[in-house]
Copies of this chain bind each other. A is one copy, B any other.
Amino acid sequence: MSKDILNTLSPTLLMGPGPSCVPDPVYEALSKPTIGHLDSRFIAIMDEIKKQLQTLMQTGNKLTIPLSGTGSAGMEACFVNLVEAGDPVLILKNGVFGMRMVDVAQRLRADVDVLEFEWGTPVIVDAVKEKLAEKSYKIVAVVHAETSTGVMNPVGEISRLLEGSDSLYLVDCVTSLGGIEVRTDDWKADALYSGTQKCISCPPGLAPISFSDRAIEALKARKTKVPNWYLDLTMIINYWEGASRAYHHTAPINMLYGLYAALDVILDEGMENVFARHKETHEYLVKGIENLGLTMTVSPGIRLPMLNAVNIPEGADDEAIRTALIREYDIEIGAGLGPLAGKIWRIGLMGHTARKENVDRLLDALKALL
């Protein structure tokens, strides 16, 4: 029964907001023999993954590990480990994922202030500067690559506003990691999280995170226990570090094999080469989109290479075209979210997907359908 559906799955060109196309070594890794989560061979793999993530995240942070949930669990983990009831938190919001941060932090009873910017435009650094002059925050949070709009936020510039302050800097790198530079240490980011199904090109299911020593100090100085046993880093750290490797929860073994292989593919190609490939493929797509008479939603200079928002042309039937793309061409692109639903398409060029031949395939299909 199950075999029928699984065996008829045709490979799909995943050009939406994630998951992205998965390279063969990752598929192979996923089906390697399951071993125990306390097996010394598995611990050796965990140690390798930590090093790979440190390289990709450009950090020396010891607490740099994948958590056992999707990217959203990474967001949850960063907030739940650092927030206590009443803590002042500033969230810079210009899309769905900033909005989600607000919801997450409020549920944890943080005292949340929101600086909102128009969707499709970036966070304005001067506005943040003014806000920080008014009030001090325990946490300032921003999304690097806003997947809902295709906008890149000025994460480095914002970090400079926080120099010398006690605020912890929390950065969402779900969509950026593996596609553009994530400079954890240069940005002095204190809590940073990502997902595996975007530019890392591993199936969804894991959330790489990195915590600075300052963030760990804040975690250790909590007055109350982390109100989430599953994501409590004070315990998870004892499984990922040290000699004894205390059991916390059973690690998702085969998913971690997949991540290990996916990071190896990236580091083997070379980070600089991978970022250049994303940039070139993005530019190639933009040219092709404009040649079709379509327009980009986001202004040049702040566009994400891996998530391209394209305005749906007048008269085009959003859903009919997306459905035809998947049914007739085996190509998935993403719909707009929130206020941009029905107004934009989101074309992902993430990780293994970011190749000119894939862009050609999409452009040919769009040309036929429009």
A interface residues (Cβ-Cβ under 8 A, vs B): 1-3, 5-7, 9-12, 14, 16, 18-19, 21-22, 25, 27-37, 39, 41, 44-45, 48, 68-73, 75-76, 80, 100, 103-104, 106-109, 195, 197, 203-205, 225-230, 247-255, 257-258, 260-261, 263-264, 268, 326, 332, 337
Provide the bound-state CA to CA distance between A342 and B229, in Å: 26
Closest residue of chain B to A42 (Cβ to Cβ) is: B9
Contact check, A48 vs B9: say whether CB atoms are below 8 A apart: no
Known: A1-B48, A31-B28. A37 touches B204 (CB 8 A): yes
In the bound complex, how far is the Cα of B264 from the Cα of A366, in angstroms? 39
User: Contacts A6-B260, A30-B30, A48-B2: A68 and B205 contacting too (C-beta < 8 A)?
Assistant: yes
Q: Which one of B18, B27, B45, B230 contacts A5 once the chains associate, using CB atoms below 8 Å? A: B45
**Nearest B residue to A263 by beta-carbon distance?**
B2
Known: A204-B253, A254-B258, A255-B255. 20 other contacts (CB 8 A): A2-B45, A2-B263, A7-B32, A11-B33, A14-B35, A14-B36, A19-B253, A22-B33, A34-B203, A70-B251, A72-B230, A72-B248, A72-B249, A73-B249, A76-B229, A197-B250, A204-B252, A205-B205, A205-B254, A252-B255
Nearest neighbor of A201 in chain B, beta-carbon distance:
B34
Provide the bound-state CA to CA distance between A258 and B254, in Å: 10
Cα separation A262 to B15 with both chains bound (whole Å): 29
Contact assessment for B6 and A261 in the assembled complex, using a CB-CB cutoff below 8 Å: yes
B33 touches A10 (CB 8 A): yes
Q: Is there an interface contact between B19 and A37, defined as CB atoms closer than 8 Å?
A: yes
User: Mind listing 6 A-B residue pairs with CB under 8 Å?
Assistant: A12-B33, A14-B34, A16-B36, A21-B34, A30-B31, A205-B252
Q: How many angstroms between the C-alpha atoms of A38 and B34 in the bound complex? A: 28
CB-CB < 8 A to A263: which residues of B? 2
A252 contacts B332, C-beta separation under 8 Å: no
A261: B residues at CB distance < 8 A: 2-3, 6
Given A9-B32, A229-B104, CB of A264 within 8 Å of CB of B205: no
With known contacts A76-B230, A205-B254, A249–B30 Cβ distance under 8 A: no
